[in-house]
Amino acid sequence: MKSKRQQVILDIVEREDVETQEQLLLALKDLGVSTTQATISRDIKELGLVKELTPGGFYKYAVSQRKVDQDYAGRLRAIFREGVLSFDLAQNLIVLKTMPGLAHGVGSAIDNMEVPEVVGTVAGDDTALLVMRTAQAAEDFCTQVRQMLN
């Protein structure tokens, strides 16, 4: 429920200029999502939304790119330090070797981060396959993994 609501909030903020929490509440209500101002306030904080100045001179909610980058790197670092033993690359595919029983958790965590370059994951007991959009995205991802594991 929370993740769906937060995804709806992100969708609204991307397509509409939302200046206040009240406007966001009304937009959610129009989409059939019932919630409270306090919940919206927590969601805004958790999602890393910030107010940015528009060309029209008013402020609207937007996703902070800095927050996205920090969360992505921090979460990946924790996941990989705890469970990934090695990785290998073949064009746009990445094979991750994990400790026994952890591949599914690693794959699921990567899927839930909704990294745009990751098409999806398939996991067994100790191996996860990441399908990336491009070979370059796979190389970039592996560079980040290498830095995290060193």
Confidence of residue 71 (pLDDT cuts 50, 70, 90): low
Residues contacting 30, CB < 8 A, separation 6+: none
* Per-residue pLDDT, 145: 78
Pairwise CA distance, residues 90 & 116, whole Å: 19
Q: Are residues 50 and 86 in the same domain?
A: no
pTM of the model: 0.51
User: Residue 29 pLDDT more than 90?
Assistant: yes
* Per-residue pLDDT, 52: 87
Top pLDDT among 84 and 76 is at 84
Final residue of a domain: which of 63, 88, 110? Answer: 63
Residue 79 CA from chain centroid, whole number: 14
Pairs from 79-85 (Cβ < 8 Å, separation ≥ 24): 79/106, 79/109, 79/110, 80/106, 80/145, 80/148, 80/149, 81/148, 81/149, 84/145, 84/149
Q: Are residues 9 and 47 in the same domain?
A: yes
Confidence of residue 2 (pLDDT cuts 50, 70, 90): confident
Total domain count, the chain: 2
User: Residue 142 pLDDT more than 80?
Assistant: yes
Nearest Cα to Cα of residue 61 among 114, 116, 16: 16
**Tokens representing residue 106 in the block:** 């690693």
* Per-residue pLDDT, 72: 59
Domain enclosing residue 49, as ranges: 2-63
